[in-house]
Structure 1
């Protein structure tokens, strides 16, 4: 679902027309509702001069819907840099370009924005340089082709798989393994491909996994069959991934439990 905010009915109509078949659109006027858990992107129309209320709206969206990418549509060249430097918006598109560009920008941010944001969070964290490099690489790769194994990720950062797995395990406080982290990223990408319209056979072929293997990964995390996974909203899945696999790394204590094999 795409939520649209704009200062006038005319601008809302321009944006909705440009979005076209990119997704179901809801009018953003009014308070946040329970249905907003299924919003995958917000498009905000902002005419020059940009108001303080519009900046506050973006900040409110970031507080209430932190995993949702925000695209601003504006009419002034000077406003582009202003939005990109002063807020966490993902993209800025000019009104004169929305017919040609808005659909493509929406598709791009819906696929990559959340994982890239998590990668940036990892890069800013107190993790060791090796873990920062490995995990941010894994998160960014999962927006297209997830890293399939601990061995391949370890090769990227030139570390032994067992050493990298143990460092991850200790930092996560024994709550999650590196193998589980990578498996969850495969599930996230599979879910994105499936909900974009592909059938499971095509998803498996694109990712290089047998359907049974993908089913087993989904049963491990988030504990759903592929059919159930397809009915889960992307925002719910991303929030659960962050809670289960990222927050233990950023906040968890060191663990004295013995690490598993790589």
Structure 2
């Protein structure tokens, strides 16, 4: 399941439409990092002024759900790279490119995660 956490209902709807309406829109981040094994991909959408507040959430997701690819959707800004220097995201998509790039980034992130899980599980057998 693809879950979407955005700062505004409009952004949630736009992102969900870009992925064909198949996402589950979350109203809050509460409980998101509780070890949910049903999440195939998480999209966090945040406008640039609010991004510093979301960095802690991204770091918590990285620690508690390391197998879940996280795609950050935000505004195009040169300062984003500096803010993300201490957290991992699987992909970064600008709001301006949501309709053209989001689906392919989800597919690539999920494929990479599945491949890594497969390699790790095979290593356990050796």
Corresponding residue for residue 26 of structure 1: 24
1:245 aligns with 2:97: no
1:81 aligns with 2:104: no
Corresponding residue for residue 71 of structure 2: 71
TM-score scaled to structure 1, two decimals? 0.42
Change (3 A) 1:36 1:72: same
Q: What secondary structure sits across from 2:48 in the alignment?
A: coil
Note the aligned Cα RMSD (angstroms): 2.9
For structure 2, which runs of at least 5 residues remain unmatched after alignment?
A: none
Which portions of structure 1, spanning 4 or more consecutive aligned residues, are displaced by more than 3 angstroms? 32-35, 113-116
Corresponding residue for residue 60 of structure 2: 60
Corresponding residue for residue 2 of structure 1: 2
Change (3 A) 1:115 1:82: farther
CA-to-aligned-CA distance 1:137-180 (integer Å, 9 cap, x gap)? xxxxxxxxxxxxxxxxxxxxxxxxxxxxxxxxxxxxxxxxxxxx
Counterpart-to-counterpart distance in 1, 2:33 and 2:66: 15
Structure index of larger Rg: 1
How many residues align? The count is 124
Counterpart-to-counterpart distance in 2, 1:48 and 1:94: 10
For structure 1, which runs of at least 5 residues remain unmatched after alignment?
A: 119-183, 186-237, 250-262
User: Relative contact order, CA 8 A, sep 6+: which one is greater?
Assistant: 2
TM-score scaled to structure 2, two decimals? 0.80
Give the Å deviation of 1:46.
1.3
Q: What secondary structure sits across from 1:86 in the alignment?
A: coil
Counterpart-to-counterpart distance in 2, 1:114 and 1:80: 27
Change (3 A) 1:79 1:47: farther
Which has the larger share of helix?
1
Which has the larger share of strand?
2
Aligned pairs for 1:148-167 (under 5 A) are: none
Aligned pairs for 1:124-163 (under 5 A) are: none
Counterpart-to-counterpart distance in 1, 2:13 and 2:92: 18
1:91 aligns with 2:91: yes
Q: What secondary structure sits across from 2:97 in the alignment?
A: helix
Counterpart-to-counterpart distance in 2, 1:33 and 1:75: 24
Corresponding residue for residue 128 of structure 1: none
Give the Å deviation of 1:92.
0.6
Change (3 A) 1:84 1:90: farther
